[in-house]
């Protein structure tokens, strides 16, 4: 049986990239009776007229909302250049959310030439007004060394400001930094607390990391049942590493009653999601007939994919399987593997895996 391996899941560089999906586009709903009382194109069209009139009179919130409508294509054709123009007017009047949006647009190069120096300047303006998203983005830039010197201590300070306002991604990052000792002294108890805050807001990586901490007893007493609970939350949101861990826990009876059928189901989900270990496990189970039947074509496919995803000796195992298959089945397996994409279920004919008199499935 595969050994239960439940190491912590840590993001590269501790953080996600800058937020380039546009909370740009969240309309501020200043004077929003038209959106509330009407629906569809008529509502957006009328709102656009009202915001245009007020924006031209210099009302910052209407300038922001007009920019948002251009960014989203609400009541008007999408136009990031015009969105930038209106966000810029509102930002120069001190509206923090527009300052944030200018930072995003400079960071991504949407509506304006990409300029990380200006992105940093606008994020700083909004962050100093207390806007959590901008505080997070400043932290991210200090982690990555974008424009500013890389400084994890300052990054921690900005993530801490945003986390204390309830921003889940910053709470996650504080957990990661306490867990690894980057930018702050290592403290598993504090890491667990911050992961818990973010996990309870639904973020999958903190959910996974809490599960791992319960397995290892880091910052909390070991408890495999609680570990299973948290891996299950993340797995059901599609996190492949947690799906793999559920497979291992069902296979070994750790934290849950042993159930090889459920283990197989979770290994399959994880493999389809791109988890290399799960691919190798599926291949072995198909080859060995762990659930009672063998399918050597599927074993060949999953060993092939596991090797492509970096699993040592997977291609050697694939070649051993090939010795038990006819050339037509080998060619089919190679074709399926070469055309496979993450998220794609794999099935074969029930007659493809016949070997030594064993029925395939």
Q: Does residue 316 sit within a domain?
A: yes
Whether 210 is in a domain gets the answer no
**Would residue 162 count as lying in a domain?**
no
Question: How many separate domains does the chain show?
Answer: 1
Q: What local confidence, expressed as pLDDT, does residue 39 receive?
A: 53
Strand partners, 240: none
- Tens-place pLDDT, residues 258-283: 999 999 999 999 999 999 999 999 99
Domain containing 285: what range? 274-338
**Whole-angstrom Cα distance, residue 8 to residue 230?**
13
Domain annotation covers residue 154:
no
Whether the predicted pLDDT of 353 surpasses 90: no
What tokens were used for 148? 């500013």
CA–CA distance, 74 with 27 (Å, rounded to integer): 10
Q: What is the pLDDT of residue 44?
A: 81
Confidence of residue 32 (pLDDT cuts 50, 70, 90): very low
Residue 287 lies in a domain: yes
pTM (2 d.p.): 0.84
Is the model's pLDDT at 316 over the cut of 80?
yes
DSSP 8-state code for residue 200: T
Q: How confident is the model at residue 109 (pLDDT cuts 50, 70, 90)?
A: very high
Residue 218 lies inside a defined structural domain of this protein: no
> Biggest alpha carbon distance in the chain?
83
Asked if 44 and 75 touch (Cβ cutoff 8 Å), the reply is yes
Per-residue model confidence (pLDDT) at position 361 = 26
At residue 352, the pLDDT reads 54
C-alpha atoms less than 13 angstroms from C-alpha of 304 in its C-beta half-sphere:
20
Q: How many Å separate Cα 1 from the centre of its chain?
A: 30
Q: What value does the mean pLDDT take over residues 88-116?
A: 94
Q: Is the pLDDT of residue 326 over 60?
A: yes
- The pLDDT assigned to 169 comes to 93
Tell me if 102 is assigned to some domain: no
| Among 23-32, 100-109, 345-354, the least confident range | 23-32
The whole-angstrom separation of Cα 195 and Cα 201 is 10
Task: Calculate the alpha carbon distances from 266 to 113, 249, 252, 269 in Å.
Answer: 45, 10, 13, 5
Beta bridge partners of 358: 355
The C-alpha angle 162, 167, 172, rounded to 5 degrees, equals 95
Residue 317 lies in a domain: yes
DSSP codes of every residue in 284-349: HHHHHTTTS---HHHHHHHHHHHHHTT-TTHHHHHHHHHTTS-HHHHHHHHHHHHT--TT------
């Amino acid at each position: 049986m595969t050994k239960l391996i439940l190491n912590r899941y840590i993001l590269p560089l501790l953080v996600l990239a800058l937020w380039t999906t546009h909370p740009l586009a969240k309309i501020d709903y200043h004077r929003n009776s038209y959106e509330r009382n009407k629906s569809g194109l008529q509502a957006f069209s009328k709102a656009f007229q009202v915001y245009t009139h007020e924006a031209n009179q210099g009302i910052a919130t209407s300038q922001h909302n007009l920019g948002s409508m251009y960014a989203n294509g609400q009541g008007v054709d999408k136009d990031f250049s015009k969105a930038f123009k209106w966000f810029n007017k509102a930002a120069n009047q001190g509206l923090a959310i527009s300052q944030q949006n200018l930072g995003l647009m400079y960071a991504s190069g949407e509506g304006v030439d990409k300029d990380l120096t200006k992105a940093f300047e606008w994020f700083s303006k909004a962050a100093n007004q207390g806007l959590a998203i901008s505080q997070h983005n400043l932290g991210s830039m200090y982690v990555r060394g974008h424009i500013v010197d890389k400084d994890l201590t300052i990054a921690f300070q900005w993530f801490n400001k945003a986390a204390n306002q309830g921003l889940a991604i910053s709470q996650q990052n504080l957990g990661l930094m306490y867990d690894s000792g980057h930018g702050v002294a290592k403290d598993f108890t504090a890491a667990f607390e911050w992961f818990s805050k973010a996990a309870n807001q639904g973020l999958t990586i903190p959910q996974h990391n809490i599960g791992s901490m319960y397995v290892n007893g880091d910052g909390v007493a070991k408890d495999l049942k609680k570990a299973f609970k948290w891996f299950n939350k993340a797995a059901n949101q599609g996190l492949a590493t947690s799906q793999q861990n559920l497979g291992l826990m069902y296979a070994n009876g750790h934290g849950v009653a042993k159930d090889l059928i459920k283990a197989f189901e979770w290994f399959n989900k994880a493999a389809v999601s791109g988890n290399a270990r799960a691919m190798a496990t599926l291949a072995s189970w198909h080859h060995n007939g762990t659930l009672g039947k063998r399918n050597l074509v599927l074993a060949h496919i999953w060993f092939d994919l596991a090797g492509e995803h970096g699993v040592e000796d997977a291609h050697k195992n694939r070649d051993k399987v090939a010795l038990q298959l006819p050339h037509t089945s080998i060619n089919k397996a190679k074709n399926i593997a070469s055309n496979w994409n993450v998220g794609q279920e794999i099935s074969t004919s029930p007659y493809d895996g016949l070997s030594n008199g064993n029925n395939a499935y």
